[in-house]
């Protein structure tokens, strides 16, 4: 399975729209794109997960790494558009309590 | 006669027979001969050189162009020779790595060995199977005082990094003083250890419980672990064993909520790793209700046989290709 990442930017706001699967095979690709964005102070990184139907714990780990990086570098990480399956693993792992997750509708304007 | 001379002679025989008869049988023998060449570690350019030598003997009047073309071919084969030798050395290295992993896996098995303690009040069953050689799931039973302490953890990722992380958890748990065996405090302590020591992409999910046989109370806490089940015998119902909490290793100041539940005669506490619910079959994921159905099917058996049968059925559903480490533990109150 594959992961597609499309990227948009307006000033310091970066939006990543993901589709496919985030697992042990595709996680490095996501890390490569997302992590540098969270490392820049003042950036807002919005990740749209509405196209993701499967994520495993390695994929979740990339978001944990990005969260730590955004805290350390004063940037913001926001997730939105989770499918039920994906939302469930964020809930079980307790990450919904520490992450900025919008329950908003997908496809909102930046 | 050296091995090489023998090969030269055999090649000469085969080639001259083929040139005279041009039959399939000899061609086939040529194919078989190539295996022998590999066994003797004859490189591609050595074979061309052997061919030249044999052709020289068979056709002393070979034209100069023909002979020169062979010399040219010999040069052109050099790259393949390098590739061949590189392959040889990679194969050696791979064998070496494999044997190191074997050693590490058996060390891990020794570390993981957790004797299941005996309690008159409880029937305990456990199965833990790695998807690859090294197990990223961890479970641990300790008899502390009169109580049973049980832990199950899932380390993110698989293979060697997960196994190394598991060793850390084991030693951190072993070194905690006994008074901190309260599940929520134990998780808080472990969380600090994990947070300091793991890479930022790593985390660990864990469930910890303590069963007190005198009171039949089960104290527990969870750090983002896949919920287990409680079987309520009186109502003949399975309920989710919810223990909310953040996974270990994300934030140093995380605190955990203490939970407790009274366990009645015939009740079961069922703990699992997410390898159990993340089982993927050709028809999609195994849902939690299906796990319950499987447990229900075997629940009159002793606990060890329940977990083994459930594992066997799930393994079969996945066509015997375990994708994730699998751990299932059942504690059944029998007195």
Q: pLDDT-based confidence at B210, cuts 50/70/90? A: very high
pLDDT at A110: 45
| Residue of B200, B257, B278, B279 to mutate, interface with A, max A Cβ within 10 Å | B200
pLDDT tens, residue by residue, B127-141: 988 777 767 788 889
CB contact burial B309-332 (16+ within 10 A = b; e otherwise): bbbebbeebbeeebebbbbbbbbb
Query: 């034209």: which residue's tokens?
Result: B63
Q: How far is CA A90 from CA A31, A79, B24, in A?
A: 18, 11, 65
Tokens in use for B185?
Answer: 């405090």
pLDDT at residue A106 is higher than 60: no
Output phi, psi for B317, to 5 deg. Answer: -60, -30
**CB B201 to CB A61 under 8 A?**
yes
Q: Across A1-110, where does the E strand assignment appear?
A: 3-10, 13-22, 44-55, 76-80, 100-102
A97 CA: distance to closest CA in chain B (Å): 8
- On the CB side of B267, CA atoms within 13 Å amount to 17
Q: Which residues of A touch B227 (CB under 8 A)?
A: 92
Query: 């957790």: which residue's tokens?
Result: B114
Q: Which residues of B touch A24 (CB under 8 A)?
A: 157-158
pLDDT at B280: 62
pLDDT at residue B326 is higher than 90: no
pLDDT tens, residue by residue, A3-14: 999 999 999 999
Q: What is the CA radius of gyration of chain A?
A: 13
CB contact burial A27-55 (16+ within 10 A = b; e otherwise): beebbebbbebbeeeebbbbbbbbbbebb
Arithmetic mean of pLDDT, B290-312 = 94
More confident residue, B277 or B105: B105
pLDDT at residue A108 is higher than 70: no
> Which of B199, B205, B278 is nearest residue A93 as measured by Cβ atoms?
B205
Q: Which residues of B touch A93 (CB under 8 A)?
A: 203, 205, 224, 246-247
Mean pLDDT over the full length of chain B: 88
Q: Which residues of A touch B205 (CB under 8 A)?
A: 57, 92-93
Tokens in use for A67?
Answer: 């969260």
pLDDT tens, residue by residue, B232-290: 999 999 999 999 999 999 999 999 999 999 999 999 999 998 776 666 666 666 778 88
DSSP character string of B142-176: EEETTEEEEEEEEESS-HHHHHHHHHHHHHHHHTS
Which residues 6+ apart lie within 8 Å of B31 measured at CB? none
Q: Which residues of A touch B225 (CB under 8 A)?
A: 92
**CB A64 to CB B250 under 8 A?**
yes
> What is the rounded distance in angstroms from the CA atom of residue B77 to the CA atom of residue B44?
7
Is B160 in CB contact (< 8 Å) with chain A? no
Is A26 in CB contact (< 8 Å) with chain B? no
DSSP character string of B3-21: HHHHHHHHHHHHHHHHHHH
**CB A65 to CB B223 under 8 A?**
no
**CB B201 to CB A62 under 8 A?**
yes
Calculate the CA dihedral of residues B26, B28, B34, B39 and round it to 10 degrees: -110
Is A68 in CB contact (< 8 Å) with chain B? yes
Arithmetic mean of pLDDT, B4-27 = 89
Q: Which residues of B touch A97 (CB under 8 A)?
A: 246
More confident residue, B323 or B296: B296
Within B198-273, where are the H helices?
A: none
pLDDT at A1: 67
Q: What is the CA radius of gyration of chain B?
A: 31
pLDDT tens, residue by residue, A27-76: 999 999 999 999 999 999 999 999 998 888 889 999 999 999 999 999 99
Tokens in use for A53?
Answer: 């139907």
pLDDT at B3: 79
Asked whether the beta carbons of B310 and B302 are under 8 A apart, the reply is no
Beta partners for residue A102, in sequence order: A80
Determine the Cα angle at B177 with ends B335 and B191, to 5°: 95
Q: Residue B245's closest CA among B271, B274, B223?
A: B223
Is B188 in CB contact (< 8 Å) with chain A? no
More confident residue, B86 or B198: B86
> What is the rounded distance in angstroms from the CA atom of residue B314 to the CA atom of residue A106?
36
Q: Which residues of A touch B157 (CB under 8 A)?
A: 24, 57-58, 61
DSSP character string of B278-308: T-EETTEEPPHHHHHHHHHHHTTS-HHHHHH
Arithmetic mean of pLDDT, B225-237 = 95
pLDDT at A75: 96
């Amino acid at each position: 399975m594959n992961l597609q990442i499309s990227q948009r930017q307006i000033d310091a706001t970066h939006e990543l729209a993901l589709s496919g699967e985030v697992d042990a095979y595709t996680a490095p690709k996501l890390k490569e794109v997302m992590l540098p964005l969270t490392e820049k102070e003042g950036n807002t990184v919005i990740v749209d997960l509405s196209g993701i139907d499967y994520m495993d714990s390695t994929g979740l780990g990339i978001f944990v790494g990005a969260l730590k990086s955004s805290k350390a570098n004063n940037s913001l990480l926001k997730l939105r558009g989770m499918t039920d399956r994906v939302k469930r693993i964020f809930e079980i792992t307790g990450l919904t309590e520490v992450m900025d997750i919008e329950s908003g509708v997908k496809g909102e304007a930046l | 006669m050296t091995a090489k001379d023998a090969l030269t002679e055999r090649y000469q025989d085969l080639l001259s027979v083929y040139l005279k008869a041009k039959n399939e049988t000899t061609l086939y023998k040529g194919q078989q001969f190539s295996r022998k060449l590999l066994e003797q570690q004859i490189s591609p350019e050595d074979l061309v050189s052997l061919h030249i030598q044999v052709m020289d003997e068979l056709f002393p009047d070979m034209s100069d162009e023909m002979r020169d073309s062979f010399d040219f071919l010999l040069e052109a084969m050099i790259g393949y020779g390098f590739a061949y030798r590189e392959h040889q050395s990679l194969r050696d290295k791979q064998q070496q790595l494999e044997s190191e992993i074997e050693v590490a896996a058996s060390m891990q098995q020794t570390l993981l060995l957790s004797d299941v303690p005996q309690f008159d009040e409880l029937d305990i069953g456990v199965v833990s199977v790695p998807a690859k050689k090294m197990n990223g799931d961890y479970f641990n039973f300790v008899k502390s005082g009169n109580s049973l302490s049980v832990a199950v953890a899932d380390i993110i990722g698989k293979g060697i990094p997960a196994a190394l992380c598991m060793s850390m958890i084991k030693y951190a748990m072993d070194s905690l003083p006994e008074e901190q065996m309260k599940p929520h405090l134990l998780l808080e302590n472990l969380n600090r250890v994990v947070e300091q020591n793991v890479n930022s992409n790593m985390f660990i999910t864990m469930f910890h419980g303590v069963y007190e046989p005198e009171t039949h109370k089960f104290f527990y806490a969870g750090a983002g672990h896949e919920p287990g089940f409680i079987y309520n015998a009186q109502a003949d119902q399975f309920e989710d064993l919810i223990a909310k909490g953040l996974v270990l290793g994300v934030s140093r100041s995380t605190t955990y909520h203490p939970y407790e539940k009274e366990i009645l005669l015939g009740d079961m506490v069922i703990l699992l790793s997410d390898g159990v619910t993340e089982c993927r079959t050709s028809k999609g994921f195994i849902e939690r209700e299906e796990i319950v159905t499987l447990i229900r099917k075997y629940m009159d058996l002793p606990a060890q046989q329940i977990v083994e049968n459930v594992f066997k059925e799930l393994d079969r559903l996945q066509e015997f290709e375990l994708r994730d480490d699998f751990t299932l533990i059942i504690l059944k109150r029998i007195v």
